[in-house]
Each structure stands twice: as C-alpha cells, then as structure tokens.
Amino acid sequence: MAVELLVLLSRQELRVIEHGRVLRCYPVSTALNGPGERENSGCTPRGWHRISERFGDHSPENAVFVGRQETGEIYDQSLAQQYPKRDWILSRILWLEGLEMGWNAGHSCDGNGCDSHARYIYIHGTPDTEPMGEPRSHGCIRMRNRDVMELFEQVSTGTQVWIVED
C-alpha cells in the first residue's frame, strides 16, 4: 500500500492518507517548544520528510530503545521510577529525513544546522501514561505504543511525511 503521512501540529494529529483519502487518524504529541527546524531547539521540524529507517520490527510492545538499539528492557512503572528523567522511546521507531535543503535538510541559510535526520527526529512510541493531543516532546512525534505499532505495519522506508502547523 502506497500511503503518505500528514502530521498536523495544531491538531496534534497524524493522518495516514492513500490517494487523497484519510485511512486513519492518530493522536500524537509533538514538541513542547513548538515548530522549528534549528538544531538543539527542541522543536518539531516542518515540511516534507521521508521515513529513512525503521526500528523494532519484531520487538514486543513497550520494548525500550536507546540509540535506536533495543535494550532488552520492557517499560513498566518500576523502570519509570528507576529512571525518572529518561525520555522514553518505546515499541517502534520511524526515523525521519528532511527533504527540503536549507529548511529541514543540511544547513539553514544562516549556516545553522536544521537537518531533521541529524537531529534524530523520530515517530516513536512513548509510555501510555503520557498525554496525547498536547505538545510535550523534545522534537519527536510521540504516539501510543499500539498506535505506533499499527502505523509501523502501514509504512515502509521512503514513505513521505508532511509536517505542517495547520
């Protein structure tokens, strides 16, 4: 199935679209700092992207990832209490690559980094206790674990992702 993804920052929603028809909508949580392309901004980058890499194909729900590697841990409340400051990346990872040079790929016009891939911008699972529908991430697009696992089955490397404010 050839689908594309649309992330609406103002609605905190990810839509799966095929031939102009919305197949599925998921609530998400994008950056607490809002939209933006600059390196170290903690913002969610806008514009056209593609899924460059996928991680977690056969991982269990709530599998913990650090540096895109499965740690062997399964997220639960005791792990959360043990590592209260960890930014949890769970279940699946879809690593995004910007497609607009000078906007979300390479360097910006003023020479600052803006590359979404180099910024490690992902669509990924997060603890189900984290709220969806409100900006809370450090730049990534967070999803409920079951939702990101379902989405993972619908997309492949190269799937286009358009991130817009409205």
User: 104, exposed or middle or buried, with CB in 10 Å at 0-12, 13-18, 19+?
Assistant: buried
- Looking at residue 108, its pLDDT comes to 76
Looking up residue 11, the CATH number of its domain turns out to be 2.40.440.10
Residue 133: give the domain boundaries: 4-164
- List, as one string, the DSSP characters of 48-113: EEEEEEEE-TTPPTTEEEETTEEEEEE--HHHHHHSTT----EEEEEEEEE-SBTTTBSB-TTS-B
What's the domain count of the chain? 1
- Among residues 116, 120, 94, the alpha carbon closest in space to that of 103 is found at 116
Report the SS3 class of residue 161. strand
Tens place of pLDDT per residue across the chain (166 aa): 589 999 999 999 999 999 999 999 999 999 999 999 999 999 999 999 999 999 999 999 999 999 999 999 999 999 999 999 999 999 999 999 999 999 999 887 676 788 999 999 999 999 999 999 999 999 999 999 999 999 999 999 999 999 999 8
- In the 8-state DSSP scheme, what is residue 132? S
Q: pTM of the prediction?
A: 0.95
